Structure 1
Amino acid sequence: MQIIAPTYPWLRSYPPGIAWDMVPEPGTLPAMFEDAVARFADRPCLDFLGRRWRYAELGEAVARVAEGFRRLGIGPGSHVGLCLPNSPYYPMAFYGALRAGATVVNFNPLHVAEELAAQARDAEVTLMVAPDLDPILPRVLGLLGKGPVGRVVVCRFAAALPMLKGLGFRLLRRRAIARVPADDPRVLHWEGLATAPPIAAPLAVRPGDVAVLQYTGGTTGTPKAAMLTHANLTANLAQVQAWSPGNIPGQERVLAVLPFFHVFALTSVLNAGIGWGAELVLLPRFEPAQLLATIRRTRPTLFFGVPTLFKAVLDHCAKPGGAKPGELASVKLCISGGAPLPLEVKRAFEAASGCVLVEGYGLTEASPVCLCNPVESENRPGSIGLPLPAVRVEIRALDGSGTVLLPGEPGELCVAGPNVMAGYWRRPEETAAVLGEDGFLRTGDVGVMDADGYVTLIDRIKDLILCSGYNVYPRTIEEVLYRHPDVVAATVVGAPDPYRGEHPVAFVELRPGSTTDADALREFLRDKLSAIERPRRIEIRASLPRTAVGKLSKKELKAELLALRKDKR
């Protein structure tokens, strides 16, 4: 069945050789994984700080873990929580749990105990997998006996490292290793799980089964779990692969610094990397010096990141002893997602690395990738690109009428395709609010599509600042601030205003050693923004709040402004 409509403007701009009307075959992640193991058995699969696994080795480990889960009673209907940094334990536990027929629930290892407990209760997680690292393990162990979590499987972090590094970690980083209870039957060791005989049972998984409960703030800001089926995730994997025809199966090396518990890395790095038969270069966290040293050692070809990550690499390269010209030359493609990519960051990174940096767009509810700039044809600056194969895009009126707008008219970005979630876990009303009967998902983002089908984001609907009846878009202000040579990071939020309703406030992080002050920034903005867009207040901070994947976070700053207003009453 073809889904092409001649009125779709992006068809005239579609990259040669990529069929927008492709229909991804519904599949399952365990079947995809086993196919990759069979095709690339002797190829390198994982590199964890110098220790390497081949596809055949990872395949056997996953089969053993799947049987270990099954012997613990984990199977269809079970919810397994993963609270892990990037390490070999993550793909083993992820594909092992799915192979056993369970649903995976991703947990952010940086979350505090209260956040972990609330998510575990909501998702009805009965078993957690966590590393023996402090403070992650104590927080996870604290879930025992206080909700549905009845068992915790503990992974020894040092055991996954190369021998000498593992020994050094045990000796020099002893304080980072958490104490594991020796006599608690609810606390299990990874070795016991991973030494079971390989599972022999047939696949108990169907494409329509929920593979992952992925938590997100969605368009309302309230944490809830998007139900991503095997069909959703394998469809998005196929879409991402189709969009990068220049990637050679079995020959690529993917830099895996984005955390796998985040949906962008889950699809674009882990699942797509395995599907390509690539070697995944795993880093447990982002440290610029370690990242650049890893690039020098492993020579990756693909690099997926968020804008602040690319900016941090640039800033580190500019320091004495930073990367020299040519050290990033192995990277042929970088894709930025998760947040708007400032034009200045894109240009500077491409100039420093010599590779192509393209901006894409996605959201948790769509597995997540929906649009991306073409890799091998026009990469339009400032745009999030064209719809991926099988993804339909409409710009609809902000009044909620559902009216589809013409090219050039700003409205809410809405998407439909086989990658769109089945709904929110046990939240039918919130599902109905964002997912229409026609299959289109309301993203909560304001965008505009041009006559060629390229989409440009203007801002989040919830971040829109209503100032004296006018729409003020924080991203517009932020883009201009990034043009100042001393600005490292900038975010703009709306503050309550008794006269205007709201006014924009800018929070800025400057380059170390900069003498630029708020007055200088105000002068810089004077001829670049209208009077209503210019921030009434500019605050310079040593650092700005960020999420676990490095995206700038506005919620803490909004809360700060609201608290300040209450104090003044």
Structure 2
Amino acid sequence: MSQAPRPIWQERFPQACDWDAAVETGTVSDLLVPAVAARPDAVAIAFRESGLSYGELDRLATRLAAGLIADGVRPGDRVALFLPNTPWHPVAFFAVARCGATVVHLSALDALRELEHKLVATQPVCLITTNLPGFLPQVQALRAAGFVDRVLVGDDARWGPGEAEPQDLPPGGGFVWLDDLMTAPDPANWPVLSPEDVMLLQFTGGTTGAPKAAMLTHGNLVSAVNIYRLWTDGEPLEAGAQTAIAVLPLFHIYALTTILLRHLRDGNRILLRQRFDVEILIEDIAVRRATMFSGVPTMWFALLNRKGVETVDFSSLRSCVSGGAPLPFEVQTRLEGILGVRLNNGWGMTETAPAGSRLPRQAKPRPGVIGVPLPGLEMKIVSLDAGRADCPPDEIGEIAIRGPNVFKGYWNEAEATRDAFHEGWFLTGDLGRMDADGLFQIVDRRKNMIISSGFNVYPVAIENAIYEHPAVQEVLVIGIDDDYRGQAAKAFVVLKAGMPAFTLDELLHFLKDRLGRHEMPRALEFRDSLPRSAAGKLLAKVLIAEEQEKRAKPASPESAA
């Protein structure tokens, strides 16, 4: 019996990794074991002026896990984490894992209404937060309204001087200091964990409607970590010898897996930062000699626009990644010239934890290209009809993916889970194509596609063309109602500092050799900023909602005159 032919990308890019290596799986609790055994005194988390060693991180997570079990947390229970970037996050995350319970990640940027939705959807037995401004007051309001019964509070002062004022817990019961829980003895028997257990309920961005909670198992997360570790394209990075900057929010899947879990597994040092500050970023690289930095486009824009950035010593950097949202090709090229290293990019989703694809060094970067599947994964393009037939190279369809990191389904959303899969493949909702070298290219989100005069129009293609305009810093394109065409493209533009605005006609003249007539935007609006998610992703849905609201409002007598 003959073997199936190797995928195109394995033939074209054999140097990217050992394509035949097995992807290790396991439980999240086990991720700490190698580093704790090998280097217990090495710094795992550097935060403010203190350092938390691997041995101490392991001890605190064990103590909190024992406290949670003594407090009534049982395997399968949900525990919500409402935390910023603080050492309490990894301590709590690993503690919940050891209990056999499931973490529910709440975004520190969520409005109360969004937090209420997520708590109602997941019904956690308790919520872990900290006494930093903006956190405890929010949780008090949630508890007063009956959305959570028990609140466990980590004292920010444990990690050195910060923004929290010394305070007592709110009166009336229901609030407990984490430090008080951590005095409990070990349970008689620790819960037995399985890679198939749901470790994390991670809410998707909610492109349409309310966000859904993706069920990610222990095995999904551990597989994703090891999938990233198998990608060895370029200079080898010695485990235990790297310093990674963690300023992306740990409550988002991108930072959780690619920074926190991956670097703890490798025994590296993590510089944990509570918020992004371009001057601190530069200090972390030039002075503290960070070797790895993963950011979102807003951070890269800030670095690029920082006065005197050309004189900064970036020589310690070995690996830089831009993710969470597309980075304009022209911006990436300029950054690489300043950093002295290639800015890696790829693609992934909450539902893939978020391992998906990476661009091999041998491949020539170009707008929209996301590379090839990471080791252990399979990707293909399928047709948009019900049959979901495989598409030939260069034909646009929907990207489908399968692998050990792909989520189990959506929490309490049986219909949405069924619709998300076809014959074992996860249908991502991203439109794309694969070329003859096996390189995948994102065209757009399926839900973002504009149908104008019967033509399929992809906002990303228009955005890429507008980004070539020398005055444009950022752009988002959406579809708006058009009485003649059905839909038309509207561009929302943020100008570079000091650059003058331009008219729609001037923009169309600039685009005439870059876009087809059916792709031309029919409306233009300038903004000081564009809406973003917690991960820094531009949110077209906010602009779409605004446009729909405007159209739904009856015209005023003045505007009708």
TM-score by length of 1: 0.92
For residue 4 of structure 1, report the CA deviation from its aligned partner. 7.9
Alignment-mate amino acid for residue 36 of structure 2: V
C-alpha contact 1:36 1:277 (8 A) present in aligned 2: yes
2:405 matches 1:419: yes
2:428 matches 1:443: yes
Distance 1:180 1:523, change over 3 A: farther
Map of 2:558 onto structure 1: none
For residue 450 of structure 1, report the CA deviation from its aligned partner. 0.8
Residue of structure 1 aligned with 2:469, choices 474, 484, 498: 484
Map of 1:308 onto structure 2: 298
Distance 1:278 1:257, change over 3 A: same
Map of 2:180 onto structure 1: 192
Alignment-mate amino acid for residue 98 of structure 1: A
For residue 547 of structure 1, report the CA deviation from its aligned partner. 1.0
Written as runs of structure 1 = structure 2, the 5 A alignment for 1:4-153 is 5-6=4-5, 8-16=7-15, 18-144=17-143, 146-147=145-146, 149-153=148-152
For residue 488 of structure 1, report the CA deviation from its aligned partner. 1.4
For residue 46 of structure 1, report the CA deviation from its aligned partner. 0.7
Residue of structure 1 aligned with 2:480, choices 475, 495, 510: 495
For residue 196 of structure 1, report the CA deviation from its aligned partner. 3.9
- Equivalent-residue separation in structure 2 for 1:203 and 1:33 (angstroms): 17
For residue 255 of structure 1, report the CA deviation from its aligned partner. 0.9
Written as runs of structure 1 = structure 2, the 5 A alignment for 1:550-565 is 550-565=536-551
Distance 1:194 1:344, change over 3 A: farther
- Equivalent-residue separation in structure 2 for 1:411 and 1:373 (angstroms): 20
For residue 83 of structure 1, report the CA deviation from its aligned partner. 0.9
Distance 1:517 1:358, change over 3 A: same
2:197 matches 1:209: yes
- Equivalent-residue separation in structure 2 for 1:275 and 1:4 (angstroms): 35
2:349 matches 1:349: no
Map of 1:466 onto structure 2: 451
Residue of structure 2 aligned with 1:428, choices 414, 419, 429: 414
Alignment-mate amino acid for residue 528 of structure 1: R
- Equivalent-residue separation in structure 2 for 1:398 and 1:309 (angstroms): 35
Map of 2:323 onto structure 1: 337
Map of 1:265 onto structure 2: 255
Q: Write out per-residue CA displacement over residues 211-251 of structure 1, whole angstroms, 9 at most, x where no aligned residue.
A: 00011146654311111001111111110111146221111
**Over aligned residue pairs, what C-alpha RMSD do you find?**
2.1
Distance 1:197 1:377, change over 3 A: farther
Distance 1:220 1:51, change over 3 A: same
Written as runs of structure 1 = structure 2, the 5 A alignment for 1:392-411 is 392-411=378-397
Map of 1:291 onto structure 2: 281
Q: Write out per-residue CA displacement over residues 70-93 of structure 1, whole angstroms, 9 at most, x where no aligned residue.
A: 111113021111111111111001
- Equivalent-residue separation in structure 2 for 1:291 and 1:7 (angstroms): 42
- Equivalent-residue separation in structure 2 for 1:62 and 1:47 (angstroms): 17
Map of 2:559 onto structure 1: none
C-alpha contact 1:464 1:474 (8 A) present in aligned 2: yes
C-alpha contact 1:126 1:149 (8 A) present in aligned 2: yes
- Equivalent-residue separation in structure 2 for 1:15 and 1:311 (angstroms): 33
C-alpha contact 2:70 2:187 (8 A) present in aligned 1: no
More displaced 10-residue stretch of structure 1: 8-17 or 531-540: 8-17
Count of matched residue positions in the alignment of Structure 1 and Structure 2: 550
For residue 143 of structure 1, report the CA deviation from its aligned partner. 2.2
Alignment-mate amino acid for residue 231 of structure 1: G
SS in 1 for 2:244: strand
Structure 1: gaps spanning 5 or more residues: none
Distance 1:391 1:55, change over 3 A: same
C-alpha contact 2:310 2:338 (8 A) present in aligned 1: no
C-alpha contact 1:4 1:21 (8 A) present in aligned 2: no
TM-score by length of 2: 0.93
Residue of structure 2 aligned with 1:256, choices 241, 246, 266: 246
Q: Write out per-residue CA displacement over residues 73-124 of structure 1, whole angstroms, 9 at most, x where no aligned residue.
A: 1130211111111111110010111112111010001111121111011111
- Equivalent-residue separation in structure 2 for 1:291 and 1:378 (angstroms): 29
For residue 17 of structure 1, report the CA deviation from its aligned partner. 6.5
- Equivalent-residue separation in structure 1 for 2:279 and 2:182 (angstroms): 33
- Equivalent-residue separation in structure 1 for 2:158 and 2:363 (angstroms): 46
Distance 1:207 1:48, change over 3 A: same
For residue 324 of structure 1, report the CA deviation from its aligned partner. 4.2
C-alpha contact 1:495 1:502 (8 A) present in aligned 2: yes
Alignment-mate amino acid for residue 228 of structure 2: V
C-alpha contact 1:219 1:443 (8 A) present in aligned 2: no
